[in-house]
Structure 1
Amino acid sequence: MAAGRFAGWLRASRFGMFCVAIGVGVGAGFGAIGFRYLIYGFTWLATGHNEFGQDGWVGSAHLPWLGIGFFVLIPVVGGLLYGPLIYRFAREARGHGVPEVMIAVAENGGRIRPQVSVVKALASALCIGVGGSVGREGPIVQIGSALASSLGQWVRMPENRLRVLVACGAAGGISATFNAPITGVFFGVELILREFSVEAIFTVMLSSMLADVIARVFLGSAPFFTQLPADIALHHIADYLLVALLAVLAALIGLLFKNVLYAIEDLCDRVWGGRPEWARPAVGGVVLGLLLLAVPQLYGVGYPVMYQAFAGHYGLWFLVLLAAGKMIATSLTIGIGGSGGVFAPSLFVGATSGMAFGVISDHVFGPVAGQPALYAIVGMGAVFASAARAPLTSLASVVEMTGDFTLTLPVMLGIAVASLVSRAISYGTIYTTKLLRRGTDIERATPTHAFEDLTAADAMHRFAVPLDIVSNGKPAAANGHHDWTGLLGPVTRVREPQAVFGNDSLAQALRQLVRYGRDGLPVIDTDARRVQGWLTNQNVLRAVATQLADAEPKISAGQRAAEWADPNAGQAEHDLNTELDGYRIVERTLAEDSAAVGRTIGELDWPDRYLPVSVLHDRRLSEADPAHRLAAGDRISVLVPIPDEPGDVDADRATRPWASR
């Protein structure tokens, strides 16, 4: 009872929501730390080093006799491990993860299966550790979001708040990974939640801050990119024209990255079609290994390689090769069934292509153009802004990760121009295009928004006097016995009612109605102690019709020829198991000789605590209006306390000792 009241308080109050957000922030912080060390551990097992690029190693320190053949063998071995893991336990853990979180928030009420966090962590760490050319940010977003969703579902948080908690988990993961709490907030709100409200922002800020504090204890407080050249700045006002030109090129590169990603995914689908999906990463690992053999700098996430690029250790043509190679390597890793993000590869592509632009500018204009590393930093933000179309996240990430706020103006210009060009040329982003190809457009307004804005309490038929669910810790019982069999006729059906909370969104309530609400469902308060009213499909439609003025249809993009993941994967069960204790719904169909025929519902002598809730008349379901005049054949549903009607359900009464009291 105490646990139920505490959960009800968490669901109902704003302070309770903040308490849950604190738990999400702490969990996301430790999750990000654990995930990073998990990557280091698998990388060390495969190579003998924590990250590629340390000490300029090439090959495996554990198996030196393999030489460069290590690059071909190790992705195959890793694919044999994480391929079956994903296929067996959580197929939505495949790929870059963020689209799965976005669709969970947009259309599944924030529900993510709990096992996703574990499977995603293991599969992504394995994939990166054996050479997968993907990032660790997408996985930690999915890991943090799954943890948040699991906690919210355990508390039975209503959908509108569960969605915010998922954004809190994503924000905490990004914040702890990059030591960038502002970036985490913008990522959670701009990309995951996709809406701005004061309460949501405050809650996401709380989780992001706590996750970053925890990460600083274990990982330090220095900016993520600490090995940058000194005195990076624009020295002439005309250099902003070069920044704008770079932004246009970066926008095209970001869109090219998106198109290459899905083109290679389609190619892998066609080549592999019909074969066992669990073996796909291992077989595809041969091709990935050959690419790594040609360009070892594409191994893993690639942050040490970016440091080398910032320091000017690579020539112009090798920078171009790295940018193009990273697009192909990342796309191939995901196309063969790997698990990892595209955020870090976007930064990698932006940094190397921006550095190439800076080298060219230095050759053409000399020192007046500024250091090439400046354009590498602008390129990082501009390419990601073009690919993801998230300008606030892009700006915050570059500024926080470099720790140099003097770069704000050129980075802001580059991101603004890149976002504008990208939006003018392309509709989908690197994240939403995956959903568009499945036929889901989360960018366009849909009737779902009306369902999310309204609650069950807004639509229900409210009882004049709420009913207590329990009395002195025992199920409520009727006062005395009242034989009303002769009043309405024989019992048609008796069932245990499910219930919805008053602050549940209409989207959540409608799913419960479809599953359990033949003639409607009782609506209870957040403490699960009183029945406030009754909700029917008709109530829902009436409320939505009032709220919804116009709704645009959802764009239907072409379905993919072969979808690797189970289309039902990640769709959590919507059964909240909120049975209404102490009551039953009894249906009676009026016979010709029923005493109730010809009388209104309000004229009938109802027993104490017996409430008529709906009437099916001429195949039309309506509320139990006291003025409704009953006719033969009407089916009336009544919410009755346990014990049930004396003499009607003898077998049931025999199993309930209070039924005869």
Structure 2
Amino acid sequence: MVRIGKSIWNRFLRLLLRPKRLAIFEACLIGLVSGLAALLLAQSVGWLGGWRQQAAHLIPAYIALPLIGSLGGFLSGLIVDRLAPAASGSGMTEVKAVLANVPMPLNLRIALVKLVSATLVLAAGMPLGREGPTVQIGAALASQLTRWFPTSPDHRRQILAAGAGAGLAAAFNAPIAGVLFVVEELLQDVSGITLGTAILASFIASVVARISGSHNLDLDLHLVVSNTSFSAPEIPFYLLLGVLAGGLGVLFNRSILTSLTLYRRLNVSLPWRVGFAGLMTGIAFAALPDLFRDNAGLRELLLTGNADWQLVAIVFCVQFFLIVATYGSGAPGGLLIPSMVLGAALGYLVGVGEHQILGLSLATTYARVGMAAFFCAVARTPITAVIIVFEMTADFNLVLPLMIVSVTSYLIAELFEEGSLYDDLLEFKGIHLTKETTAQDPWTDLTASDVMQPRVETLPSRMRLEEALQAFSQSSHRTFPIVESGKLVGILTQKDIANLSVRGLNGENLVSDLMTPDPVRIDPEDTLAYVLHLLDRHDLSSLPVVEGRRLIGIITRSDIIRVEAAYLNNESLTEPNAERSHLIYQTRSPETGQGRILVPLSNPKTSLMLLEMAVAIAHDRNYEIECLQVIVVPKHHALAETPVKTAESQKLLKQASRLSQAWRVPMHTQIRVAHDLSGAILETLKERHIDLVVMGWKGSTTTPGRVFSRVVDTMIRQAACEVVLVKLSDSFEVAQSANRPSLERWLVPMAGGPNAQEAVRLLPALMSLSKAAQIRLFHVYDASEERKTDDAGLDTEAVLAAAAQFLKPHTNASILTTSVCADSVPAAVLSYAKQDQSDVIVLGASREGLLQQMQQGNIPAVISRQSTCTVILVRAS
């Protein structure tokens, strides 16, 4: 009963933790928590700021304001410096860096420190905004949530971006702007899951802010009466506003960087820097009119039209200087709201001029439009700038002016200096984000269906454990999916087998008694990043791929290595834009239904020997043969329009058919026209459900970065079946079928692992090519070893004996075993092959082995290149 309940609970968790379902759940939670955090920040700043205003009336302002400013700044800097240095500054740059996969801290600790320190700074009167802190708090809370509900790296980035968008939406009460800021500035991703999570989180955060009454940034509540209009004669003034905002925005960004540089040169600790900035701000505000002491009062002054232009000009200059000086100290606060205050002042001045000349619009209209212009010049997000002011004003008449000034401001700013202020701040911190940093990689581009192996070895749930043990001993796999009627019901691993006796089971029990029911599984559309996350999180070696409950494939860690290797070598695993090969000729024979061997034919001098080997294997396993001829045409020629000659190809295929008839092995033939040989072979593997590939190799390659050759390397890495690579000795190039060189003496180096075992299993079939064969099982060990062991740590003598015991009943060849001590495996194998006059060397090599670059080189490749005899390389599926 407990096991059934646990199974149901695990199934429920898997349903909840699917990427999309989990994203929706997390977006709702993040929106709610971010909205509450923004509300707490706003209420705290409002309460402490009100206390500061009262203190300025009870105590002389020239004492109260500098004292409160310096004390608040010092305490804020002390908290940040001691508890979370990453909480200094706006926080936007840190969030953007984390979203670009730069390793920077972002957690619950930073969120709490940012909340407290920003409250102290803003309540102390420093002219910074709360939107930067709310963005970092939202992203930090989202980051903490992804630690409690671990997900893939790509999913984590999307959730972090949603948290940042929710923080911005809560600060401005502008949910659409929150989403667009994520798309334009932070994540620069418009995928469905990103938009969905960002929209949901931003919407919920805005609802929380609106319900709570926290909309002190709204511009449509009681400040102005909406009487805006737009006419053609105003366009030059809006263009002028855009030009001024663009130029002054660049000056603002450069001034921020200069301020940061000057503070850095002072070599003073953060608490003293922020305390000094607070002191300077308090002194300035004590000497200026009361409206300077409250940012909300400044906005009201500019947006109600009750100020003369001289006062507004003073507002712009003083605020410009104080914002630059305060932010440069490292005080935790944002720059977007201050930039909007500057934009409002600049727009008001232009509006006064327009009203004096044309008398068409109020200066307050230009003030609201100027907010978007300066915002855009600083952040370089024209769409967000338009939407954020529109959402705050709810005035459709402002849309066209907003578009004009935002685009103009953006173009002017980019003309002088490319990139937003946040890009400059990241560069200042030594973080260089390039397109490559945020570019998509195979972990997000590829899905499970692109990489999985469609052919899966499975076991039935009603099989006895004794038979399952035999299946493990005869297979290279460490995991077997358990199926019933094609549906995945469990999984059995080597670890389960090791715990057989601990569980009180024996060979007479059934697989269903030992298997893990309802195992971790993936869907075909899951990204490779999610697959990699599950493999690491659950410490698995493979994952079954299912549609519903039907098993359709499996992904192993070897497949992940293959993908990464292809990516590092600039090879494409999937080429959606590449033209597929064209089938122009084919013949079909009766099918056995047991399996199929593919033989790509290219060199007529060696094709006959390759076919003999393939036919021998097919005869032994009751397989069919699929002969493939590929005619490669230049990539700039259309396959359907390029004339090709098939006479020689058909002649070669007919010779192959006669050979198969002599052995009574079914043979299918086909000719394809393709731009890429390896692509055509891979297509054939998939279309014809190939179980084994037998192909030749000339023995050398001049292509940099290749182990064997471009085509052979691709097959070994990507073919989802067994691969037999044959390098024939030079004597085969000139011999005829009647007097071909003998294949009597076979040397089989045993290095452990599944591929060496597969090579041994292949030998009985190949012995039909010999008259009086001799097989020597050979092992090389290091002199430093206390006992002779193979690569898998198994006793060499036992491995050799087991291989010999397997071969004896399956072949008439004489079987010998030899172990030698040597420093170099390739040198030992080559020396013994020459001494023993071996005709053939049979090697095993895994995908991983082919990707490793060791000092002595890739062992199979070195042996293949330097040996004068025939070399057969086997890679298991």
TM range (shorter): 0.7 to 0.9
1:428 aligns with 2:426: no
Q: In structure 1, how many angstroms separate the alpha carbons of the residues matched to 2:195 and 2:431?
A: 26
Q: 1:199-229: per-residue Cα shift (whole Å, max 9, x none)?
A: 3212211111122222222117898113443
Match of 1:150 among 144, 155, 161: 144
Q: State the match for 1:307 in structure 2.
A: 300
Q: In structure 2, how many angstroms separate the alpha carbons of the residues matched to 1:521 and 1:543?
A: 23
Work out whether residues 123 and 339 of structure 1, in 8 Å CA contact, stay in contact via their aligned partners in 2: yes
Q: State the match for 1:276 in structure 2.
A: 269
Q: In structure 1, how many angstroms separate the alpha carbons of the residues matched to 2:235 and 2:94?
A: 38
Work out whether residues 460 and 523 of structure 1, in 8 Å CA contact, stay in contact via their aligned partners in 2: no
Q: State the match for 1:287 in structure 2.
A: 280
Q: 1:147-172: per-residue Cα shift (whole Å, max 9, x none)?
A: 11211221112122221212221222
Work out whether residues 230 and 397 of structure 2, in 8 Å CA contact, stay in contact via their aligned partners in 1: no
Work out whether residues 7 and 155 of structure 1, in 8 Å CA contact, stay in contact via their aligned partners in 2: no
Q: In structure 1, how many angstroms separate the alpha carbons of the residues matched to 2:249 and 2:135?
A: 21
Work out whether residues 12 and 526 of structure 1, in 8 Å CA contact, stay in contact via their aligned partners in 2: no
Amino acid in structure 1 at the alignment position of 2:571: T
Gaps of 5+ in 2: 1-5, 458-478, 483-489, 502-519, 575-789, 808-844, 855-859, 865-877
For residues 422 and 330 of structure 1, do their structure 2 counterparts lie closer, same or farther at Cα, with a shift above 3 Å needed?
same
Match of 2:207 among 208, 213, 220: 213
1:390 aligns with 2:345: no
For residues 211 and 618 of structure 1, do their structure 2 counterparts lie closer, same or farther at Cα, with a shift above 3 Å needed?
closer
Amino acid in structure 2 at the alignment position of 1:540: E
- The structural deviation recorded for 1:108 is 4.2
For residues 183 and 45 of structure 1, do their structure 2 counterparts lie closer, same or farther at Cα, with a shift above 3 Å needed?
same
Match of 1:522 among 541, 545, 562: 541
For residues 90 and 254 of structure 1, do their structure 2 counterparts lie closer, same or farther at Cα, with a shift above 3 Å needed?
same
Q: In structure 1, how many angstroms separate the alpha carbons of the residues matched to 2:797 and 2:344?
A: 84
Q: In structure 2, how many angstroms separate the alpha carbons of the residues matched to 1:480 and 1:239?
A: 84
Amino acid in structure 2 at the alignment position of 1:352: A
Q: In structure 1, how many angstroms separate the alpha carbons of the residues matched to 2:215 and 2:74?
A: 37
- Count of residue correspondences: 545
- The structural deviation recorded for 1:356 is 1.1
1:84 aligns with 2:103: no
Q: In structure 1, how many angstroms separate the alpha carbons of the residues matched to 2:850 and 2:566?
A: 19
Match of 1:546 among 571, 577, 597: 571
Deviating more after overlay: 290-299 vs 86-95: 290-299
Q: In structure 1, how many angstroms separate the alpha carbons of the residues matched to 2:802 and 2:863?
A: 5
* Equivalence map 1:157-168=2 (5 Å): 157-168=151-162
Q: In structure 2, how many angstroms separate the alpha carbons of the residues matched to 1:379 and 1:184?
A: 20
Match of 2:362 among 371, 379, 385: 371
Q: State the match for 1:196 in structure 2.
A: 190
Match of 1:534 among 531, 552, 557: 557
For residues 464 and 428 of structure 1, do their structure 2 counterparts lie closer, same or farther at Cα, with a shift above 3 Å needed?
same
Q: In structure 2, how many angstroms separate the alpha carbons of the residues matched to 1:84 and 1:409?
A: 46
Q: State the match for 1:53 in structure 2.
A: none
Work out whether residues 229 and 397 of structure 2, in 8 Å CA contact, stay in contact via their aligned partners in 1: no
For residues 510 and 13 of structure 1, do their structure 2 counterparts lie closer, same or farther at Cα, with a shift above 3 Å needed?
closer
Q: State the match for 2:799 in structure 1.
A: 595
Secondary structure of 1:477's aligned partner: helix
Amino acid in structure 2 at the alignment position of 1:450: D
Q: In structure 2, how many angstroms separate the alpha carbons of the residues matched to 1:197 and 1:184?
A: 16
TM-score normalised by structure 1 residue count: 0.72
Amino acid in structure 2 at the alignment position of 1:144: G
Secondary structure of 2:46's aligned partner: helix
Amino acid in structure 2 at the alignment position of 1:183: A
Q: In structure 1, how many angstroms separate the alpha carbons of the residues matched to 2:175 and 2:430?
A: 34
For residues 299 and 457 of structure 1, do their structure 2 counterparts lie closer, same or farther at Cα, with a shift above 3 Å needed?
farther
Work out whether residues 260 and 327 of structure 1, in 8 Å CA contact, stay in contact via their aligned partners in 2: no
- The structural deviation recorded for 1:629 is 13
Q: In structure 2, how many angstroms separate the alpha carbons of the residues matched to 1:473 and 1:319?
A: 75
- What's the C-alpha RMSD, in Å, of the aligned pairs? 4.3
Match of 1:418 among 409, 412, 430: 409
- The structural deviation recorded for 1:326 is 1.7
* Equivalence map 1:183-582=2 (5 Å): 183-219=177-213, 224-225=218-219, 226-234=221-229, 236-271=231-266, 273=267, 275-295=268-288, 302-363=295-356, 365-368=357-360, 370-442=361-433, 444-446=435-437, 448-451=439-442, 453-454=444-445, 457=448, 464-465=456-457, 467=480, 476-478=496-498, 522-524=541-543, 532-535=555-558, 537=561, 539-543=563-567, 545-547=570-572
For residues 359 and 548 of structure 1, do their structure 2 counterparts lie closer, same or farther at Cα, with a shift above 3 Å needed?
farther
Amino acid in structure 2 at the alignment position of 1:353: L
Work out whether residues 140 and 173 of structure 1, in 8 Å CA contact, stay in contact via their aligned partners in 2: yes
For residues 223 and 270 of structure 1, do their structure 2 counterparts lie closer, same or farther at Cα, with a shift above 3 Å needed?
closer
For residues 507 and 75 of structure 1, do their structure 2 counterparts lie closer, same or farther at Cα, with a shift above 3 Å needed?
farther
Match of 1:31 among 33, 37, 44: 37
Secondary structure of 2:497's aligned partner: coil
For residues 90 and 512 of structure 1, do their structure 2 counterparts lie closer, same or farther at Cα, with a shift above 3 Å needed?
farther
Q: In structure 2, how many angstroms separate the alpha carbons of the residues matched to 1:36 and 1:206?
A: 22
- The structural deviation recorded for 1:500 is 13
TM-score normalised by structure 2 residue count: 0.55
Q: In structure 2, how many angstroms separate the alpha carbons of the residues matched to 1:597 and 1:425?
A: 77
Q: 1:527-551: per-residue Cα shift (whole Å, max 9, x none)?
A: 9x998411565541324533599xx
Q: In structure 2, how many angstroms separate the alpha carbons of the residues matched to 1:296 and 1:523?
A: 70
Q: In structure 2, how many angstroms separate the alpha carbons of the residues matched to 1:506 and 1:111?
A: 25
Q: 1:332-358: per-residue Cα shift (whole Å, max 9, x none)?
A: 222222100001001000001110111
Q: In structure 1, how many angstroms separate the alpha carbons of the residues matched to 2:46 and 2:442?
A: 44
Q: State the match for 1:43 in structure 2.
A: 49
Q: In structure 1, how many angstroms separate the alpha carbons of the residues matched to 2:304 and 2:260?
A: 34
Higher relative contact order, chain-length normalized (CA < 8 Å, sep 6+): 1
- The structural deviation recorded for 1:593 is 4.6
Work out whether residues 500 and 509 of structure 1, in 8 Å CA contact, stay in contact via their aligned partners in 2: no
Amino acid in structure 1 at the alignment position of 2:565: L
Q: State the match for 2:640 in structure 1.
A: none
Match of 1:60 among 56, 62, 81: 56
Q: In structure 2, how many angstroms separate the alpha carbons of the residues matched to 1:181 and 1:341?
A: 18
1:114 aligns with 2:108: yes
- The structural deviation recorded for 1:131 is 1.5
For residues 23 and 65 of structure 1, do their structure 2 counterparts lie closer, same or farther at Cα, with a shift above 3 Å needed?
closer
Q: In structure 2, how many angstroms separate the alpha carbons of the residues matched to 1:597 and 1:258?
A: 76
Work out whether residues 10 and 155 of structure 1, in 8 Å CA contact, stay in contact via their aligned partners in 2: no
Q: State the match for 1:17 in structure 2.
A: 23
For residues 548 and 459 of structure 1, do their structure 2 counterparts lie closer, same or farther at Cα, with a shift above 3 Å needed?
closer
